[in-house]
Structure 1
Amino acid sequence: MTATIISILNMKGGVGKTTVTTNISVELFNRNKRVLVIDVDPQFNSTQTLMKFFEKKLDTYFDLRDEDKTLARVFKSTNQSRGIGNSKTVATKASEASIIHTLSSNSLGGVLDIIPGDMGLIVDITDAASDKFRSFIKKNHLKDNYDYILIDCPPTWGQLTSVALSTSDYYLIPTNLDEFSTIGITLLAELLSDKVNSVDKPLKNLGVVYMFLKQNTAEDGIARDQKRFRNDIEAYFTDTMEKLVDSKVRPFDTVFYSDNYLITKSALYFDETIEKHRPDYKQKVCDLVDEIQNRLSEGSSKK
């Protein structure tokens, strides 16, 4: 077993990174895969979403945070621990491995673990962060213990995103279809080009997911006023971006639509109230994971 590491990223907020990360992780777990989610976003929305779903509350998260069992611990330059959000010193020091928190497991071998995010990530990152992160993965044999490692990145390009990509095999980009998102993809591609050329192993684009589109009845699933953005962005993929990132850049066939009910209730489409309201969204997650696994299989066959 060697885990496939996938970063989910975009420089723009509100494009569905948490939605994609959490839903993919749950569906892979439902397929009896061993999955680890690493929440690198200081807003830790994936942590909140998954803990609310599996544990129905966030009390456990606050306990883990106060015990120094979040991702922030990996980046600490000393063994001094502190409670994020307060000034008290934590008496019980956590080992690095203890930050891996199991959300669920089943008798068929499926596991869903998480390394919780932390607002402390905003200030605790140093230039040595990439070495610390890669060392943590290697020392704890994470690639040997999981089938998939999903990294939810911040909505910015900074040290945290760079750290995540340095350890990843693939990256997946959720995006909207509007003018700002189109511009954002071009800026992201230029930064990705530098990262791809700086790492010592292949870093490939897995695909682009169109998120929160306008509801419509068009045969291709794209509303008329969003088609021009789709056309522009896909022309950029083939004309420019693929050369920059040395990889095929393809949108997924599965797209997701905006729904105020879903947005206000949860980012996780497996929630029973959402499944009752919009059962088609759970099927869409299944379709997206099918596409992801097919692309990964294609990539493996070409090696």
Structure 2
Amino acid sequence: MTERTMTGEELKTLRTTRKLSQDGLAKLLNEQTKRSYDRAKVSKWENGVDRIPDDVAALLRESSATVPTGIPTASTGPATILVVINQKGGVQKTGSVVNLAYLLSHKAKKKVLVVDCDAQGSATIHLGMYPPDLEIEGKTLFHVLFRKKPILESIVTTCDGLIDLVPSGISLAKADTEIGAMTNGELRLNTVLGAVRDRYDVILLDCPPHLGKITISALNAANQVLIPSNPEMLSIMGIPAILESVEEVQQTVNPDLSILGILPTRYDQRRSQDKARMQDLAGVAADNGLHMFPPIKNAVIYVEGVNAGQPALKLDPNAPGAEAFEEVMEALLEAAKQGKETANVA
């Protein structure tokens, strides 16, 4: 009897249960098959570009019942969900999401999913994917939310296997209309993420630069909120509206939602204007009892990361602001730990 073909999703599940990167799986297969597979080939298998050889499928299925010595099983979920928002564009929301995701995966060894909630597809592009192609394939958040596409069929693997991504594209520009036409439409994202929450340690939601229905949907689904803000008046002036939206969500839908803090971005200490606005930002944080993280300094490496389709911290682990991202990561992990301890007590 011929064994059924292995799907890319099945392969990814087998790999991640062993906490293997795509490079790690290729190395393991090469040791056992005496071939020369690489990360790119594993990525093509997982994303459905190339068919998985029958002997590879048989080998992996045979080993799935008992995990080989030295390959730990994953201990993941339920994921902590962090939403990154500011209603002004150009404040490094996407850069914050992508670089934080990289640190969580690479340094903290967490299993991470990025969900691109912006019709501009910024996180999708930043992680090296091309939104128009994904739109044609029907593998975007729009199709998951509004066209009944299973979320597992839309997840793509990026950053050498470190970061999973639910991509976005221009079709998501219709999200507010679609959500408005649904019963309890602003809870749809929460429902969709429930299908994968046990597969990840952290899910990061990259939101558009406005407080529309898709952003409110993200707040409804999240545990924590991070507010990036560059040292400009328009960016800072938008924070009170974000706080009002968070409070409304806490009172009506998601009482466990918390604000992780404010993350200053694009800071240039040589500019007197930046120094003055940093004081304003610190005042907003203090007035609202919020933590303010150290600033992410303005540096060309973050632009280079976008151009390369990679996190800046992958290109340069010591990039200006790396220590600030690490502090955000530690704060998020601590919040996640406390949340799980509270849930266990309850």
Measured in 2, the distance between the counterparts of 1:176 and 1:233 equals 9
**What value does the CA root-mean-square deviation take over the aligned residues?**
2.6
Deviation for aligned residue 1:236: 3.1
The separation in 1 between residues aligned to 2:98 and 2:323, in whole angstroms, is 15
1:98-124 CA-to-partner distances (Å, cap 9, x unmatched) read 011122576xxxx52110011111114
Higher relative contact order (CA 8 A, sep 6+): 1
2:170 counterpart residue number: 119
Structure 1 equivalent of residue 193 of structure 2: 137
| SS of corresponding position for 2:263 | strand
State the alpha-carbon separation in 1 of the partners of residues 322 and 312 from structure 2. 6
Q: Following the alignment from structure 1 to structure 2, what is the Cα–Cα distance between the partners of residues 104 and 183?
A: 35
Alpha-carbon distance, 1:160 to partner: 0.6
> Residue 6 and residue 228 in structure 1: after superposition, are their counterparts in 2 closer, same or farther (change >3 A)?
same
C-alpha contact 1:269 1:282 (8 A) present in aligned 2: no
CA distance in structure 2 between the partners assigned to 1:264 and 1:228 by the alignment? 25
Structure with the greater alpha carbon radius of gyration: 2
Q: Structure 1: give runs of 5+ residues left out of the alignment.
A: 53-57, 80-93, 217-222, 243-248
Aligned to 1:43: 120
The structural deviation recorded for 1:96 is 4.0
2-side partners of 1:164 and 1:32: how far apart?
A: 25
1:161 shift after superposition: 0.2
Report how many aligned residue pairs link the two structures.
257
Q: Could you tell me how far apart the structure 1 residues matched to 2:187 and 2:233 are?
A: 37
Distance in structure 2 (CA, Å) of the matches to 1:189 and 1:132? 22
Partner residue in 2 for 1:234: 282
Deviates more, 1:112-121 or 1:181-190: 181-190
In the alignment, residue 13 of structure 1 is paired with which amino acid? G
- TM-score, normalised to structure 2, is 0.67
Deviation at 1:65, TM superposition (A): 1.8
- Mind listing any 5+ residue stretches in structure 2 that lack a counterpart? 1-76
TM-superposed deviation, 1:38:
0.4
Structure 1 pair 97–298 and aligned structure 2 pair: CA distance change class (3 A): closer
Among candidates 291, 312, 320, match of residue 269 of structure 1: 312
Q: Deviations over 1:59-79 (max 9, x none)?
A: xx5433211111011232x56
Check 1:231–1:264 CA distance in 2 against 1; reply closer, same or farther (3 A cut): closer
4+ aligned runs moved over 6 Å, structure 1: none
Q: Which amino acid aligns with 2:179?
A: T
Name which of 317, 333, 344 aligns with 1:293.
333
Contact 1:4 1:169 in 2 (8 A): yes
Counterpart of 2:62 in structure 1 is none
Partner residue of 2:137 out of 37, 50, 67: 67
**TM-score, structure 1 as length reference:** 0.75
Residues 40 and 71, structure 1, Cα contact 8 Å, conserved in 2: yes
**TM-aligned CA deviation for residue 136 of structure 1:** 1.6
Provide, for residues 28-54 of structure 1, a one-character-per-residue CA deviation record: whole Å limited to 9, x for no partner. 1103211010000111111111125xx
- State the secondary structure of the residue aligned to 1:123: helix
2:312 corresponds to which letter in structure 1? Y
Tell me the distance in 1 between the aligned counterparts of 2:342 and 2:283.
25
Cα offset, 1:302, TM superposition: 6.6
Q: Tell me whether 292-301 or 227-236 shows the greater mean CA deviation.
A: 292-301
For residues 1-303 of structure 1, what are the structure 2 equivalents within 5 Å? 1-30=77-106, 31-51=108-128, 58=130, 61-76=131-146, 95-103=150-158, 111-124=162-175, 125-127=178-180, 128=182, 129-138=185-194, 140=195, 142-216=196-270, 224-239=272-287, 241-242=288-289, 249-252=290-293, 254-259=294-299, 261-267=300-306, 268-272=311-315, 275=316, 279-297=319-337
